Amino acid sequence: MKVFLTGGGGFLGSYIVKLLIKAGHEVTNLSRGDYPELRKIGVKTIRGDITDRELLLEIMKGYDACFHVASKVAMWGHTKDFYQQNVTGTENIIESCKVNGIKYLIYTSTPSVVFGEESISGGNEKLPYPSKTFSRYAFSKSIAEKKVIEAASKELMTTSLRPHLIFGEGDKNLIPRLIESAKKGKLKIIGCGENQVDVIYVENAADAHLQALEQMIASPEEINGQCFFIGQGPIKLWPFINKILEKHQIAPIKKRVSFRMAFIVGAVIEGFLGLIRSYDIHPPMTRFVALQLSKDHYFSHEKAHQLLKWTPKVTIDEALSRI
């Protein structure tokens, strides 16, 4: 099968690419950067941006399936930047799939699209989008996900996967930032430290994407137009973080700060950065981060197990040993 993929140079995207090649698919990747390592394994690479509608309409000809993995991921940034990349870019992908007769579209979303202010404990795909969110990233992804699901038809079959807190070898975001903060003594337990979350090893997340394509071909009436939570858990977040730090010979985090204090600090920082129009930095705290680090957010994976025929192949303990 000929597969078009966006974001193959990124963390999750690179694992999806490798599994696609291993499965015998012919893969073309579109990324803003240059990734010669992809060419070495037989991937055709194109440098470009998903916001370039005319480019996508031209280069997405002749493919059977599309994996749309690329997005702007950040805890802080300008609303228009998130919208342009995550919403307009997804609109362009959908249109290009339709115009070029691509039959299958697998979209990489996030469980954050349903996370508002309250804990989520074992929620399933019937959870509504929240009326209020503190993440511009999550808000933009929810708009994009809705557009992907609404685009589902017999001509273009779509599905949206929501992998949660992806970790593993090659991660340049989640774990490196935790380690950097811990080394500087800036990482503190927020809240009671007993909150439970889902996580997922990157190889398992990539495998779920390929399973989504296989099952959409095998059972389109069950997969088309559906969302799926993808994760492993629940686990207690702070003991998990301390296990990661232990692997890097860093002392466990014991100092605590209340959720209320962290939330207020996040609000002050966001207000100040917005006032001076600074959107290109990584603030030490935001309201969304305070919520994520203190509240429960884990989900039922039964729908993915039943309809995608997916179960994690690598356990959390084994994954931790690999990193």
Predicted local confidence at residue 274, as pLDDT: 94
Phi-psi region of 164 (alpha: psi -120 to 50; beta: other; left: phi over 0): beta
Predicted local confidence at residue 199, as pLDDT: 97
Sequence spans of domains, the chain: 2-322
Predicted local confidence at residue 303, as pLDDT: 98
Predicted local confidence at residue 323, as pLDDT: 83
Predicted local confidence at residue 174, as pLDDT: 85
* Amino acid symbol at 301: H
Task: Report the C-alpha gap between 276 and 15 in whole angstroms.
Answer: 38
Predicted local confidence at residue 173, as pLDDT: 84
Predicted local confidence at residue 114, as pLDDT: 98
Which residues does the chain have with pLDDT short of 70?
none
Predicted local confidence at residue 177, as pLDDT: 87
What is the pTM for the complete model shown? Answer: 0.96
* Chain mean position to CA 165: 8
Q: Which residues are designated catalytic?
A: 137
Kindly report the CATH number that applies to the domain delimited by 2-322.
3.40.50.720
Task: Report the C-alpha gap between 182 and 247 in whole angstroms.
Answer: 13
What the block records as the tokens of 134 is 């503190």
